[in-house]
Structure 1
Amino acid sequence: MIPPEKDRLLRFFHAAVKAVDPARLVASALRVDGDTVVLDAAGIRAAVPLSSLRKIHLVGAGKAGRAMGEAALAALGERVAGGVIAVPRGAEGPSGPVRFAAAGHPVPDIYSLAAAREILSLLERAGKGDLAVALVSGGGSAMLSAPAAGITVEEKAETFRLLLRAGADIASFNAVRKHLSEVKGGLLARAARPATVWALLLSDVPGDDPSVIASGPFSPDPTTYADAIGVLERYGIFYAVPSAVRRRLADGAAGNLPETPKPDDPAFLGMTSALVGTNRTAMDAAALRMAREQDAGSTAIVLLPGFLRGEARECAHSFCGRLRKAAEALSPGDAVALIAGGETTVNVRGGGKGGRNQEFALAAAVELAGEGAMAVLTAGTDGIDGPTDAAGAYADGTTAARAAALGLDPVAHLENNDAYPFFEALGDLVVTGTTGTNVADLAIGWARKD
């Protein structure tokens, strides 16, 4: 039988994921209204008369690509002339005039290259009077990967493996990616000109900056070659990356290569970008579900947008401290819930199996050991946490004791970055399967004062 605290947190998490269903979000943002195609989302509105359009193309990439693409097809119908959208393996295949192409993630592969080149070619052929609807979600950075001249697929992939192992955050990843690419950092917007481009964005990044989502293929790039070099130096891998990568970044920083397009570039004259869903969308849905719960009694709800950042175990320590402090201020019988959003990192030191959410939950288990009515669930909204089949994990004040009864040491597992087998043995992995969406991670904490 599932403990009531775990069941409660699972309900909250599932409500959050449901709220960022990409098909529903795109369907509410994109429609044909009489003789007009309309984009209307998050205060952004654009409209184009059908009579003025030659062709409509669908392009894009990301973990939510299939659901977003099918919803756009349903909204626009036979008016879509064709398109290519890069999606995770298992979601590929044709749908009407659109091809959903499998591509690598989290490390780009030759299929990421093929998808990027195909989309680039389609956009370069688009002309005045065409509308390109770009559907972009988290994961698109890896799924659209066309290395810049002088860089091989293998060299680019090795660079990203080193960044991943070093625990680089998404903004750091993207600063490097944009300057080793033919398509990122606004370069697809440049390729599409003079066509009209509408970018519908499902954000998985802190702050929801369009230039960071999937490395901003349709957005101005505020970063430079010098910034990319700074990232590699900060993580201590500048001399570990392939020499061709170092050479390209140095040439760019010296002014020998053109920079990515900035906000005043003519490439963005025909661009409209709209956020259709964000991490905050999911947080608000979890909070609404909490507010409607009847069995939890009086519950204070605290939202912590962007709280999940930095090293996972350190963030878990801070989160549990906030939860404990909030619980101490309660009246007897009352409860408090914390909902945090964002994305942590893990500096891999051991050889174990897990992901950033499982690592966070394992660190929380150590923090909460012996505590009373306190529990934490942390999981990725995409249903994927590291190279595992779990989205995350659940921990409470009994986790450490239950583990000890099985001969498991949470501290030892944490030091070996080995959270998956720990929680698997306890039955406390959160396994949802691939959700088809991606707005980063949620950590939900709950405590009651007896």
Structure 2
Amino acid sequence: MMRNREALGSTPERDLALDCIEAGIAAADPVRAIDESVSLEENRLTIGEASYDLASYAEIVVLGGGNAGGRMASAIEGALGERIDRGRVVTDAPEKTERIEVLPGDHPVPSERGVASTRAMLELADEVGEETLAVVLVSGGGSALMPAPAEGISLSDLQEVTEALLASGAEIGEINAVRKHCSAFKGGGLARRAAPAQVVSLIVSDVIGNDLSTIASGPTAPDGTTFAEAQEVLSRYGIDPPEAIADRLDRGANGKVEETPDAGDPAFDHVDNHVIADGFTALEAVRDLADERGYEPLVLSSSVRGEAREAAKTHVAITEEVQRTGNPIEPPTVICSGGETTVTLRGDGTGGPNQEFALSASLELRESERIALASVDTDGIDGASDAAGAIVDGGTVSDPEFARAALADNDVYPYLEERDGLIETGPTGTNVNDLRVLVVTSPEASR
């Protein structure tokens, strides 16, 4: 899975941390998730505890997208085969499919080709009817990959406000509150476009708590946010949006533009949403591998958030406590966490939240023995870089002043690259958000 694995593993702790990262990403593979969640027996399609009589439908159409869209399309074809009549899915990690068109998009900033692909997918959604079973594939990254600018808003408007929000340190729910109110299909809009078809969404979640309205900006979920709240987000982070976006939000807040559909909207009368993989899926795999290797596992949380460099200090403090006192767990141990940290951009460098997390941690770990830390975004793309994240240990930083300067300028990528710390996977075909692994062994074990 890792393109540069041989350059990264130089100690038993680093090797195990990398093994755990690979196990976590593999566990969140949509092919595995769909295989475990979806079954077909004659005409009865079962997804979790729900079942659907395929004989009741004139056609099966597949829609949606996200980082995992390609893998999900391939997997659902494997499950349903020729029963699928047609489909269009948008992703940045394409897979070969027979009956579903896999269309290109870009992440984390929306692109012109993403607009064209999303338009084509929505045209198909508009064609479905009451006798259609619409299987919607939803995964993290869908907000950027499937841009559908609302009337009067241009792609450049969306790009500008997206880049500003990403740089502001805003949390994903706040970012998506704005995106949903600038879109023709987010925030329940796809459910509205596909009605009155039976919509069945298979969801790979990259959102803390699996908030359906936030994953890919909730195309098939009711939206609890409003135009006024979108305005508040921009105000809170001091973002001056393009005139077209400001005008739409103002008109919406004053009741002149229809609000996104809430839970009482009839668009959701025939919508079922199924989360088939999330951040805890990856953490469970890490926990199982650690136990198998003879290390005591500890899952800290699947909901870690906040500024990446500050969250890193807390994680290191826990490892220090473990080594020094055996509290809350005796070494050797593997400590893991998930969630989504953020970065407030103050410089003009290259990096991402997981790289900043790793470098900040390595400053705290200096000269620590028998501890390794790996942190990645499970989609394989950390920030706007081509790295998934990074791995560090007590020997990574020998020049703390340069490391601190790299953090201050948000330019950690070149620093970590020079020290063989970057983890490179390329797009993984899934997205269950961040995954962090800390391997802690007692220093006495090496003596």
TM-score (norm 1): 0.93
Instruction: List, as ranges, runs of 4+ consecutive aligned residues in structure 1 with deviation greater than 6 Å.
Output: none
Alignment of 1:300-339 (within 5 A): 300-330=296-326, 334-339=331-336
Post-superposition offset of 1:337: 2.5
SS at match of 1:344: strand
Amino acid at match of 1:305: S
Alignment of 1:48-447 (within 5 A): 48-88=52-92, 91=94, 95-237=97-239, 240-294=240-294, 299-330=295-326, 334-401=331-398, 409-447=402-440
Which of residues 1, 16, 22 in structure 1 aligns to 2:24? 16
In structure 1, C-alpha distance between the alignment counterparts of 2:321 and 2:253, rounded to whole Å: 48
- Mark the CA change 1:92 to 1:137 in structure 2 (over 3 Å): closer, same or farther: same
Amino acid at match of 1:354: G
Post-superposition offset of 1:241: 1.1
SS at match of 1:399: coil
Post-superposition offset of 1:81: 0.9
Aligned-residue Cα RMSD (Å) equals 1.7
SS at match of 1:400: coil
In structure 2, C-alpha distance between the alignment counterparts of 1:92 and 1:303, rounded to whole Å: 33
- Report if aligned partners of 1:355, 1:387 keep a CA contact under 8 Å in 2: yes
- Report if aligned partners of 1:379, 1:392 keep a CA contact under 8 Å in 2: yes
- Mark the CA change 1:188 to 1:307 in structure 2 (over 3 Å): closer, same or farther: closer
Q: What's the % identity of the aligned pairs?
A: 40
- Report if aligned partners of 1:365, 1:410 keep a CA contact under 8 Å in 2: no
Post-superposition offset of 1:187: 0.8
- Report if aligned partners of 2:322, 2:330 keep a CA contact under 8 Å in 1: no
- Report if aligned partners of 2:71, 2:95 keep a CA contact under 8 Å in 1: no
> Which range moved further: 46-55 or 17-26?
46-55
SS at match of 2:252: helix
SS at match of 1:104: coil
SS at match of 1:386: coil
Post-superposition offset of 1:409: 2.0
- In structure 2, runs of 5+ residues without a counterpart are 1-8
- Report if aligned partners of 2:323, 2:330 keep a CA contact under 8 Å in 1: no
TM-score (norm 2): 0.93
- Report if aligned partners of 2:351, 2:413 keep a CA contact under 8 Å in 1: yes
Amino acid at match of 1:82: R
Count of matched residue positions in the alignment of Structure 1 and Structure 2: 434
Post-superposition offset of 1:373: 2.2
- Report if aligned partners of 1:92, 1:101 keep a CA contact under 8 Å in 2: no
> Which range moved further: 330-339 or 344-353?
330-339
Q: In the alignment, which residue of structure 1 is the partner of 2:5?
A: none
Amino acid at match of 1:85: V
- Report if aligned partners of 1:55, 1:80 keep a CA contact under 8 Å in 2: yes
SS at match of 1:210: coil
In structure 1, C-alpha distance between the alignment counterparts of 2:336 and 2:75, rounded to whole Å: 29
SS at match of 1:383: coil
In structure 2, C-alpha distance between the alignment counterparts of 1:193 and 1:352, rounded to whole Å: 45
Amino acid at match of 1:270: H
In structure 2, C-alpha distance between the alignment counterparts of 1:387 and 1:191, rounded to whole Å: 32
SS at match of 1:162: helix
Q: In the alignment, which residue of structure 1 is the partner of 2:4?
A: none
